[in-house]
Amino acid sequence: MPTFSQAVAFAAVATVIIVIPGPSVLFVVGRALAHGRRTALVSVLGNALGAFAVVAAVAFGVGAVVARSVTVFTVLKLFGAAYLVYLGVQAFRHRRSLQDAVGGPVEVPRGRALWQGIVVGATNPKTLVFFVAVLPQFVDRDRGHVPLQMLLFGLIFCAIALLCDSVWGLTAGAARTWLARSPRRLAAIGGTGGLMMIGLGVTVAATGRRD
């Protein structure tokens, strides 16, 4: 089991990584602008579940494969990037329908939003690199139960991510509600959210490991 000091040190590092806007933050903000706060918050939950799936994979050995194989890492990264572009295109295509939502935002069904968040969270290159390269540095092998230690650290990371990303989603959702007073502005905001996700997908595909 990790010591209290280990947990605090890991939480501090994780917080720095999480609060720096990256794919997860931009995804949540894009969802809030395109579909509203509820969809954004469900996406945040899915994102955290996807991140924890990565932790579990790293804890039980899959992370070593990702760390050593540029091909596996690249495939995961490109899949996530393509999925972000797809979601962005869908949001941009349906931006006009948001004009009918001045009395209430057009939201993605919860199950679909949750699954989409899981996919984005599990394929986030920043999360993959953090869990593969940084997480093991906090594990004390002499204390045993290494997979359990990693899972506990992963829970800490996901709890912090849930809190921080929810703040981003609520803030962006509040801005969207204010802008929704004008159907034209609402359509523009829906399109902006879609373009953000498309740009994020392209950026994710163009960055990362090249060794």
Range of the domain at 170: 24-206
- Cα first-last separation, the chain: 34
Higher pLDDT, 209 or 168: 168
Q: What CA–CA distance (Å, rounded) separates 131 from 146?
A: 14
Region 1-12 average pLDDT: 82
pTM over 0.85: no
Q: Is 40 in contact with 188 (CB distance < 8 Å)?
A: no
| pLDDT value, residue 130 | 76
Tell me the Ramachandran region of residue 3: left when phi exceeds 0, alpha when psi lies from -120 to 50, beta otherwise.
beta
Helix (H, G, I), strand (E, B) or coil at 132: helix
- List, for residues 85-95, the tens digit of each pLDDT value: 777 777 677 65
Is there a domain that residue 14 lies in?
no
Q: Is 9 in contact with 137 (CB distance < 8 Å)?
A: no
Tokens linked to 82: 């393509």
Higher pLDDT, 177 or 64: 177
Helical spans, DSSP H, in the chain: 4-19, 23-35, 37-59, 62-68, 70-93, 110-122, 125-129, 146-179, 183-206
How many domains would you assign to the chain?
1
| pLDDT value, residue 104 | 47
Is there a domain that residue 175 lies in?
yes
| pLDDT value, residue 65 | 60
Q: What CA–CA distance (Å, rounded) separates 209 from 92?
A: 30
Assess whether pLDDT exceeds 70 at residue 208: no
| pLDDT value, residue 99 | 47
Region 59-69 average pLDDT: 66
Is there a domain that residue 173 lies in?
yes
Higher pLDDT, 99 or 87: 87
Is there a domain that residue 9 lies in?
no
Is there a domain that residue 42 lies in?
yes
| pLDDT value, residue 210 | 46
Is there a domain that residue 15 lies in?
no
Region 112-138 average pLDDT: 82
Q: What CA–CA distance (Å, rounded) separates 125 from 201?
A: 11
Is there a domain that residue 116 lies in?
yes
Is there a domain that residue 179 lies in?
yes
| pLDDT value, residue 114 | 93
Higher pLDDT, 79 or 40: 40
Q: What CA–CA distance (Å, rounded) separates 138 from 193?
A: 37
Q: Which of 80-94, 110-124, 160-174, 178-192 has the lowest mean pLDDT?
A: 178-192
CA torsion through residues 111, 90, 199, 67, sign = positive
In this structure, the number of other CB atoms found within 10 A of the CB of residue 110 comes to 15
